[in-house]
Chains A and B, each alone.
Chain A
């Protein structure tokens, strides 16, 4: 081993031992982890945190309280984990202030672990099941989410104690070419959407000569409903930082940027803390860990436009220009920020890097499929029971993801489609559920991996409206520079809007298909190139719904307001109940002389209130499509 490699190793070991020592001290007494990432906060985690603090203070207990990130179980936020010597670490879900107070008195003071609130234990034991005993735990395989929600994102020692920055120490002792070879061999593909081989991009940037190079972490995450990157930044910021430093060391960059959207204030705060702590430990800045490599990172707050996540627009935005994409080539790896070779990688992509450097390419390839090794991280949302952040091996089927990991469809409804890949992903039907989740299979099916948004749709979702909704999003987010995206998506949106309002015309479907194809091939950037996907897939798999709208003025899912009317079934309605009358905001529901209820269609605003109110009582309110006449009115 060379002298400098020895210095790096010694410095790293010193940091790690110090961290382990502190970590050991914490573990000697009970401690409580409260998940206070954005998702936990939205569910009331800060109130729970206060309760723990007050109760523990008031009773003068010697218990540490630590704020952590997100464990991914959105449906069960706020989540709390309690470590008490003598018990397995236990995780509690849907904790409120009352439960928090009970956990202090019953568990921390007494020895009753309140199993009635517990979700799972974190370690195998004789008392309580672990996450691995549930289907979700069986199918999940956590790599980059493994420590999220378990380690303190604001304490670098927690990360160091788990072996963090060990990959950086290892990479510093390697030649840049060796690091790149490992990433190439691992066949890691970019998780920002396109799935481009990361190692090849690194090699291009490395091989482009130049005294000044940049690396950028793309944390613009603009997909509606997607929050994987936010969770990673809030829960384990050092994992991303370590990946970014390794990438800089591999390509020879001296300056890095974290491009984070301004709507992520907590992520930005935690990143600032992480950067400061890393600098203080010599893991960033001049001669990192005593090596000859110097590198620092700056946070850049993104303006929030979706298209700024596109790499050339992102670069323009950092340069102070409007976030508008430019033609590639040149690719950023050759000529990027300020004309210098620039490596841009997504948050998730970078998070894998320390794991690959530590455990090797073969380990990484042992997970997933040959063409898409590793895991996939998804934000599971929509009409599925177990919403949240999940990490499964590539190659898992959509069916497993939805029915086993996500625990099936909510409220006993029937599955209709899954929208995968973000706003410009595709909608796949039941018949596609056995498709393997990987970059190539999804693209073949007309959808895409995207950055990992998954929305599950059920029988109540109209597929024309779904397509219209997503197209409206991309149309609003179009920068307007190129003809196909600016005007083509607008033309498509107008046609779809007409169809959902009952003004569809024969030939509309063909025109949509023609425009979609041209927009895909003709657009300048990825936004336009993928914008038609929701329309193409819904026409491909649910053409009959389009036809019903256009030819019969009928919305089969009874969702499009202009194509439905509300009625009350006289057979089901009860003379003794008038809940629906009270629920109506516009006095459209009235009591007939025979005491049954009915709806004045001319007054009805189709708000769904009466239907929702009656559903659990008599289920007498029904929707009809195409619109029907009011009973008794001719």
Chain B
């Protein structure tokens, strides 16, 4: 990865490590691209949130920036009518299954969804789509944090740090399709699971699903 290549993103020439994924190349140079599941430390991109679409010259369709390696001479645009349309729909789909109620959320003001909405001028409100959120009880059992599944966007960052950084294995994805969610084994509350309450997962949650309690008290 020592070789450098020159690429163009939004008319800016950048020198980045060859093979670096476009998402990180852009972010490192102050160019924002919406993303939720993208996680630099994770070896294989999940490519699940479908928010980081960009146009790459020569590609017939927009591609996800988290999976696209930088190649010498590549010309990238973070915005285009097609990209904006895909990002808008993906964003609306995500908030159609995310309990909004920002005023009462511990992450209000520090939320990746709010950031995306601001960057791309999207409404934090459903206009076209139906509300799919199911009320689920908040897991308040840990001392210092709580887990609200109805705010989870399934980015998987918490699962990744739990498995690879904390190396605890308390949580994982369960079920399929629309029922997919992050849960403990056997769906017990966190204190009844292997969770050590290290809090690593809370630090990486981009939204208000995993939040520290003192943050909520603030």
Binding site for B on A (CB under 8 A): 305, 322, 326-327, 475-484, 486-488, 490-491, 494-495, 511, 514-515, 518, 521-524
In the complex, what distance in Å separates the CA atom of A523 from the CA atom of B94?
14
Given contacts A483-B48, A522-B53, contact A478 B132 (CB under 8 A): no
Complex interface: chain B residues within 8 A of A523 (CB): 50
In the complex, what distance in Å separates the CA atom of A482 from the CA atom of B96?
14
Contact check, A490 vs B180: say whether CB atoms are below 8 A apart: no
Contact check, B49 vs A480: say whether CB atoms are below 8 A apart: no
In the complex, what distance in Å separates the CA atom of A479 from the CA atom of B174?
10
Chain B stretch 117-147: residues in CB contact (< 8 A) with chain A: 128-130, 132
In the complex, what distance in Å separates the CA atom of A287 from the CA atom of B218?
72
In the complex, what distance in Å separates the CA atom of A326 from the CA atom of B64?
13
> Can you list 7 A-B contacts (CB < 8 A)?
A327-B44, A480-B179, A482-B47, A483-B90, A486-B178, A490-B178, A518-B86
Question: Min CB distance, A58 to chain B, in Å?
Answer: 54
How many pairs, one residue from A and one from B, have CB atoms within 8 Å of each other in the complex?
89
Complex interface: chain A residues within 8 A of B53 (CB): 522
Leading 3 A-B pairs by shortest Cβ distance:
A480-B180, A487-B93, A518-B89
Complex partner residue of A481 from B48, B64, B96, B130, CB under 8 angstroms: B48
SS class of chain A's interface: helix, strand, loop or mixed?
A: helix
Complex interface: chain A residues within 8 A of B45 (CB): 327
Contact check, A522 vs B89: say whether CB atoms are below 8 A apart: yes
Contact check, A480 vs B154: say whether CB atoms are below 8 A apart: yes
Given contacts A322-B173, A475-B178, A518-B89, contact A487 B97 (CB under 8 A): yes
Q: Confirm or deny: B115 has a beta carbon within 8 angstroms of a beta carbon on chain A.
A: no
Interface size on B, residues (CB 8 A): 34
Contact check, B86 vs A524: say whether CB atoms are below 8 A apart: no
Contact check, B44 vs A488: say whether CB atoms are below 8 A apart: no
Interface string of B59-77 (1 = CB under 8 A from A): 0011010010000000000
Question: Min CB distance, A515 to chain B, in Å?
Answer: 7
In the complex, what distance in Å separates the CA atom of A45 from the CA atom of B44?
50
Q: Confirm or deny: B177 has a beta carbon within 8 angstroms of a beta carbon on chain A.
A: yes
Q: Which residue of B lies closest to A521 (CB)?
A: B61
Known contacts A326-B47, A480-B154, A491-B130; 6 further A-B pairs (Cβ under 8 A)? A327-B44, A477-B176, A480-B173, A480-B175, A480-B179, A487-B93
In the complex, what distance in Å separates the CA atom of A494 from the CA atom of B129?
10
In the complex, what distance in Å separates the CA atom of A322 from the CA atom of B180?
12
Question: Min CB distance, B160 to chain A, in Å?
Answer: 14
Contact check, A479 vs B89: say whether CB atoms are below 8 A apart: no
Contact check, B50 vs A484: say whether CB atoms are below 8 A apart: yes
Contact check, B93 vs A521: say whether CB atoms are below 8 A apart: no
Contact check, A478 vs B178: say whether CB atoms are below 8 A apart: yes
In the complex, what distance in Å separates the CA atom of A487 from the CA atom of B132?
9
Complex partner residue of B48 from A305, A482, A491, CB under 8 angstroms: A482
Complex interface: chain A residues within 8 A of B50 (CB): 482-484, 522-524
Contact check, A487 vs B173: say whether CB atoms are below 8 A apart: no
Complex interface: chain B residues within 8 A of A518 (CB): 85-86, 89-90
Interface string of B1-14 (1 = CB under 8 A from A): 00000000000000
